[in-house]
A and B are shown apart, each in its own frame.
Chain A
């Protein structure tokens, strides 16, 4: 038989009650979760801490046997590196626009689909499909649509308008937004689940009391789906701050993960990736990534702590 993952803990637990039923159940619990737990320790926690350690060194990819501890130098550098601060600003700019935009649009799509209409399955599929297309294909596809002699400019010409340098300095953020919003249907399954969970009785009661459609939407629908909105809010903040490959695919002029996107869409993760893989600044790159990680963590904690104020839980979370 397998050994439990946490023998120390179970042993002290077991010494009081000699091999009782609950002791056996606890033991089985640790055996059942051991695949995750062991891999989490070996390939999650250890690399994480090792990376944290390396971010305090001058590791450059080849000097492993003569690493120098540099204290907080790498971290100080993050905040004095103009490119890092610039790319962080761009990333925050995209996050501030994309998170609300994708939640509002995704939710409205779901509301639209939640109407009592024929052929809902077809529309749901059509809205959802862009979100399952791999980002590599999405980025390459949009690039080919937005290039100088691409179909979008040809369309503009046919309408008698001037073609636009979409992937150039002045316009590059728009294709990025369009590309990201194209995948906005990814949330509709979860929103629809939330909308379906709202009891019909509530709407009927409100209608009898003379509430208008708008009032019902604002006072019943929105509050009751706040848990779902909250979940999507957190997930999209986490995802948006990590935005990485879309700008590369969209604006890079060569086929490589190492090509740099044009300035307006030069985001933070790209900068970190560049430091590590283009310049071999592993220690510094890891410090950049840890700063991002801590920011995400802090933001998540802040959003969680505000959840009591605006997230409505219908049932007591403790009871089951």
Chain B
């Protein structure tokens, strides 16, 4: 029989080697992106950096109207994070703590909307908004925001449902209104979910909302996510040649806020996802 201690040690070594190897695989493309952003424009990409051309970052924000697009991103993201985070909480609270006929059917309906490919509704929405004159404005984002998001509602519902009934009973006897119970008792204790929902909304809006702006907005109102690949960094007069080094710098600046928000809220994100998943 093999000595259990030796076997155990060997097992650990293998695990650590695997972890390190995988970490390298996951990180190396990002390392190359950073390396590439520091190379001389037009030079071939290399494994190790051969220069430290920070000027590429300056080009990245001056060759295209970077700050203009960033401003659009900020407007869209602010609308799409602040409002749904609150309205989703309201709706999630309703589904978690209030009884009414038809509640389960409505809850299933709400969950099933997550299955809907967004584009199926966006094209008819475009036709409707075109008639109403909302094209090339930020109004559509406000309307979408007011309804909250199905996944956020689900997360809030899971979180609120876990508390014992006593939590609001006492407040009810004191004559507290349902809204005040929600606002003064439940909301203050739901920081992990609020953080989770905000981070997810931030990533979804800042990073991954690029098709709707492409459809609903004109060039000068594009957010960065849409602008970075529909406008792109090309040599003046030569539309086929992308300046990948400058583009890499532009992408890094675009991704940075997502990474920062992730690190700030990481603790809550793990907590929020874990608690909702376990309670199923």
Which A residues fall within an 8 A CB radius of B? 6, 9, 13, 22, 25-33, 35-40, 42-44, 46-48, 50-51, 54, 64, 109, 112, 115, 117, 123, 125-127, 129-130, 132-137, 139-142, 144-145, 147, 149-151, 154-155, 158, 182, 185, 189-190, 192-194, 196-197, 227-228, 231, 238, 242, 245, 249, 253-257, 269, 272-273, 276, 282, 285-286, 289-290, 292-293, 296-297, 300
Contact = CB atoms under 8 A, between A and B. Distances in A.
A292 B258 CA distance: 31
Given A134-B254, A257-B230, A144 B244 contact: yes
B22 A44 contact: no
12 contacts: A25-B178, A29-B103, A32-B93, A36-B148, A134-B206, A136-B254, A139-B229, A182-B26, A227-B280, A276-B123, A289-B120, A296-B115
Contacts of A276: 123
Interface string B259-280: 1001000100110011001101
Given A134-B255, A249-B229, A144 B248 contact: yes
B207 interface: yes
Interface string B212-256: 001000000000010011111010000110101001100100110
B101 A154 contact: no
B100 A296 contact: no
Nearest to A134: B207
Interface of B: 12, 15-16, 18-19, 22-23, 26-27, 29-30, 32-33, 35-36, 44-47, 87-88, 90-91, 93-95, 98-103, 106, 109-110, 113, 115-117, 119-125, 127-128, 143-144, 146-148, 153, 178, 182, 203, 206-208, 210-211, 214, 225, 228-232, 234, 239-240, 242, 244, 247-248, 251, 254-255, 258-259, 262, 266, 269-270, 273-274, 277-278, 280
B117 A289 contact: yes
A26 B91 CA distance: 13
Contacts of A242: 117
Contacts of A144: 33, 36, 45, 244, 247-248
DSSP majority for the A interface? helix
A134 B202 CA distance: 11
A134 B254 CA distance: 9
A31 B269 CA distance: 29
B144 A50 contact: no
DSSP majority for the B interface? helix
A297 B22 CA distance: 35
A297 B115 CA distance: 7
A115 B247 CA distance: 40
A140 B251 contact: yes
A3 to B, nearest CB: 15
A64 B106 CA distance: 34
Given A13-B101, A35-B146, A193-B273, A127 B23 contact: yes
Contacts of A282: 123, 127
A51 B123 contact: yes
A254 B124 CA distance: 28
Nearest to A255: B232
A54 to B, nearest CB: 6
A142 B125 contact: no
Contacts of A123: 19, 22-23
Contacts of A6: 102
A290 B123 CA distance: 12
Contacts of B258: 132-134
A228 B231 contact: no
Contacts of B234: 255
A32 B46 contact: no
Nearest to B44: A149
A286 B119 CA distance: 9
A133 B35 CA distance: 17
A142 B98 contact: no
Nearest to B126: A47
